[in-house]
Amino acid sequence: MRAATVQLQSTNDRDRNLAAADRLTRAAAADGAELVVLPERLDLRGTAEDYAAGADTLDGRPVAWAKETARELRIDLVAGSIAERREGHERVANTSVHVGPDGDVKTVYRKIHMFDVEVGGVEYRESEHSEPADEIVLSETAGGVGLGLTICYDLRFPELYRILALRGARIVTVPANFTRVTGEAHWEVLLRARAIENQVFVVAPGQGRGPGAEGDSYGNSMIVDPWGEVLARAGGEGESFVAADLDLARQDEIRKKLPSLSNRVAGAYRWPEEARV
């Protein structure tokens, strides 16, 4: 199957962001992509005030666009993440939505790990405007391929990816908005590590940097295969898509010849004193 990442330069202008997403999603589908994944915060990037004012429900415009587009183009579409407003919640959710070729929502994943850090002399507090979730989800493409959904900072928590792989994920999506500082140091390394450890394809679109973009993002959207090979890569700046063919037969061969998932010794992964209890 063919997959594509769409790299955007999202701002606090939702109309502009969705227009760019639509244009590039259509271009990726015209290139043969059956699975198209968009970046984190595809619909809206900005301040806590921007999210509070602009977040929408799952019945709102961003998801309606994703459903209509997936149905028209007959693709699996992962609407990277959107700012989701929920009744009874003061903060928004950072939410990834998988829509199938029939236009129906297959799975909704809300980001678990909040980006509360200080890097490059800049402090980030995602939890000030976004509420963390606590549920791992696994979806499936129209062709029956296991699809794990994650978002950005989740990438640093390998337990999440191992659980998804053990539950049947063959592809994991990582819509992201890495900073330039963390991206230059860790983005490719982490993507390849998660792919190799779990023998999965990793499809990881990012936010590009450039004039008008919100923040100093890293871009460099990538698709990585289960051997850790980078199959496709965008640049750091601008809006674009990149695509690659995901060879599931090669994945099967890798898992057969180097069966690290089945060679796990789960009962040994504990401290000795715990084993004696």
Question: How many structural domains are present in the chain?
Answer: 1
Gyration radius of the chain over CA positions: 18
Specify the pLDDT at position 248. 99
Question: Going by DSSP bridges, is the β-strand pair 240-245/138-140 parallel, antiparallel, or unpaired?
Answer: unpaired
CB 104 within 8 Å of CB 67: yes
Range of the structural domain that residue 259 is part of: 2-275
The domain that holds 216 is classified in CATH as 3.60.110.10
Catalytic residues: 40, 111, 152
Using alpha carbons, select from 145, 138, 129 the residue that is nearest to residue 108: 138
* Per-residue model confidence (pLDDT) at position 275: 60
| Token pair 């199957």: residue | 1
Q: What is the pLDDT of residue 212?
A: 57
Q: What pTM was estimated for this model as a whole?
A: 0.96
Grade residue 214 by pLDDT with cuts at 50, 70 and 90: low
Most distant CA pair in the chain: distance in Å?
60
Q: What is the mean pLDDT of the chain?
A: 96
Alpha-carbon gap, residue 225 to 200, rounded angstroms: 7
Q: Cα 267 vs. chain centroid, distance in angstroms?
A: 31
Burial class, 183, CB count within 10 angstroms (exposed 0-12 / middle 13-18 / buried 19+): buried
